Structure 1
Amino acid sequence: MKKTVCIIVAFLALVSCSQKVVPADLAKINGYWEVEKVVFDSIDDKEYRMNEVYDYFKIDNNKGIRKKVMPQLNGTFLVNDVEEKVAVRYTADGIFLDYATAYMKWSEEIITLTDTELVLLNKDNTEYYYKRATAINLMGDGKTTK
């Protein structure tokens, strides 16, 4: 009996610690995001030390875009005209981003969304871990960049 109570308490503690994404959090997705790692369902995870391409999200009133952008050393981004249309879908299970291009449609669930972290899950159970993009500092002098 004592073991059962301990297991139930441990389970409740784990469940209560998980942060659920709420609609009010969605504004945090706007901006530039860099992939930190990708966790696959059946193969080894992939860590990214440096990315040549970031994802840029701009969502307003549950509709928007996602673009791939290339950061430059002067703090700007190279951008092309290719973008994915994004629609936000709310369900009892969570918040989903529905993407559409001229060639395909797909969805990703928002698992985590904070000011500095974004985790998306696709239908293949692949998790994409993003961090908020910051300015590139190649000097290595420890000074923060603007």
Structure 2
Amino acid sequence: MRLFFSILLGTLLFSCSNTIDIQDLNGYWEIQEVTLANGTKKAYNFSNMVDFIAVKKDSSGIRKKMKPNLTGSYETSNIEEAFFIKQDGHDIKLYYKTPYSSWEETILELNKTQLKVVNQDGIVYTYKPYEPINID
């Protein structure tokens, strides 16, 4: 009987595991909230910049800061942050490298409605998909 419950518990735990589809990273993401390592939270009700993320089939990608305008197009400085994706145990990490710095972020949550990452300093960034302002 104990063996039965152990198997049942193991099955439930594995069936409820959170799977991440890396392709959900693709698109425009707007910062929603930042949580510092000490628990202090900063909500962003509006941001004039969004992150554009594009992932390639080889698990590399780029992130660019974009400024949407009212015509539906975007302005950018053309500065890209290159990254590659790697699984580290149960964690999926983004490793960034620019001419000025390198850092990593661990994906805590990723789906079509939310992206949540934590950096090496314990700062959690929560994003939502960017929805353009529609002025008709």
TM-score range, shorter chain: 0.7 to 0.9
Aligned to 1:65, which of 43, 62, 65?
Answer: 62
Provide the C-alpha distance between the structure 2 equivalents of 1:42 and 1:116, rounded to a whole number of angstroms: 26
In structure 2, the CA distance between the partners of 1:136 and 1:89, relative to structure 1 (3 Å rule), is same
Identical-pair percentage:
30
Aligned residues: 125
Runs of 4+, deviation exceeding 6 Å: 15-18
Work out whether 1:52 is the aligned partner of 2:48. yes
Report what 1:105 is aligned to: 102
CA 1:138–1:83: 2 relative to 1, 3 Å: same
Please, which of 25, 34, 38 is the counterpart of residue 34 of structure 2? Answer: 38
Ranges in structure 2 where 5+ consecutive residues have no aligned partner? 1-8
One-letter amino acid of the structure 2 residue matched with residue 120 of structure 1: V
Take 2:67 and 2:119, find their aligned partners in 1: how far apart are those partners? 23
Structure 1 stretches lacking a partner, 5+ long = 1-8, 140-146
Equivalent residue, structure 2, for 1:95:
92
Greater strand share, structure number:
2
With structure 1 as the length reference, what TM-score do the two structures score? 0.78
Q: 28-37 or 77-86, which moves further after superposition?
A: 77-86
| Alpha-carbon offset, residue 18 of structure 1 | 7.0
* TM-score of the superposed pair, with normalisation by structure 2: 0.83
Q: Please say if residues 21 and 94 of structure 1, whose CA atoms lie closer than 8 Å, have aligned partners that are also in contact.
A: no
Q: Distance in 2 between the 1:47 and 1:97 partners?
A: 23
**Do structure 1's residue 124 and structure 2's residue 121 form an aligned pair?**
yes
Q: How far does residue 137 in structure 1 lie from its aligned partner after superposition?
A: 3.5
Provide the alpha-carbon RMSD of the alignment: 2.1
Structure 2 residue aligned with 1:20, among 6, 18, 24?
A: 18
